[in-house]
């Protein structure tokens, strides 16, 4: 997943852009490897980025997934430098970014290989 181009204008715009980038990356991977349309639809109908990741990893259960995350720090560093309160609201405890890491942490602790 590649996260360049996320403008840290507001928490809402960061969330919208982040979710869009996750959505595009996950659906294009499922399409590239000819997963059933139902798997793609499951990601598509999920609302948040972490729900999309849960749907993706549910569809690919039992498969080895190699996940690269690129430019994740770019928008976070911009927020930290320009607006620490925005950074805390987006990246802090209880935020959606934390939920994304919880999904990935759960995969690691349950032995899923990616």
State residue 42's pLDDT score.
96
Burial class of residue 71 (count of CB atoms within 10 Å of its CB; 0-12, 13-18, 19+): middle
- pLDDT value for 89: 79
Residue 114 confidence (pLDDT): 44
- Residues near 11 by beta carbon (within 8 Å), at least 6 away in sequence: 86, 89, 90
What does the pLDDT read at residue 41?
97
The residue with greater pLDDT, 7 or 103, is 7
Report yes or no: 49 and 20 within 8 Å, Cβ to Cβ: no
> Which long-range contacts does 74-80 make (Cβ < 8 Å, 24+ apart)?
74/3, 74/4, 74/6, 75/3, 75/6, 75/7, 75/8, 75/14, 78/8, 79/8, 79/14
Which one has a higher pLDDT value, 76 or 98? Answer: 76
96 has pLDDT over 70: no
Q: Is 52 helix (H, G, I), strand (E, B) or coil?
A: helix
Q: What is the per-residue pLDDT for 36?
A: 96
Compute φ and ψ for 2, nearest 5 degrees: -120, 125
Q: For residue 74, is pLDDT > 90?
A: no
Q: Is the model's pLDDT at 73 over the cut of 80?
A: no
pLDDT category of residue 3 using cuts at 50, 70 and 90:
confident
Q: Flag whether pLDDT at 27 surpasses 80.
A: yes
Q: What mean pLDDT do residues 49-67 have?
A: 87
56 in Cβ contact with 8 (< 8 Å): no
Cα separation, 10 vs 102, in Å, equals: 23
């Amino acid at each position: 997943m590649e996260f360049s181009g996320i403008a840290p204008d507001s928490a809402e715009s960061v969330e919208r852009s982040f979710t869009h980038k996750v959505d595009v990356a996950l659906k294009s991977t499922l399409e590239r490897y000819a997963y059933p349309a139902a798997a793609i639809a499951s990601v598509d109908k999920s609302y948040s980025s972490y729900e999309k990741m849960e749907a993706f990893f549910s569809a690919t259960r039992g498969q080895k997934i190699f996940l690269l995350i690129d430019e994740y720090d770019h928008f976070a560093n911009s927020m930290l430098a320009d607006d620490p309160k925005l950074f805390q609201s987006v990246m802090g405890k209880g935020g959606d970014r934390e939920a994304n890491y919880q999904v990935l942490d759960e995969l690691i602790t349950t032995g899923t290989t990616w």
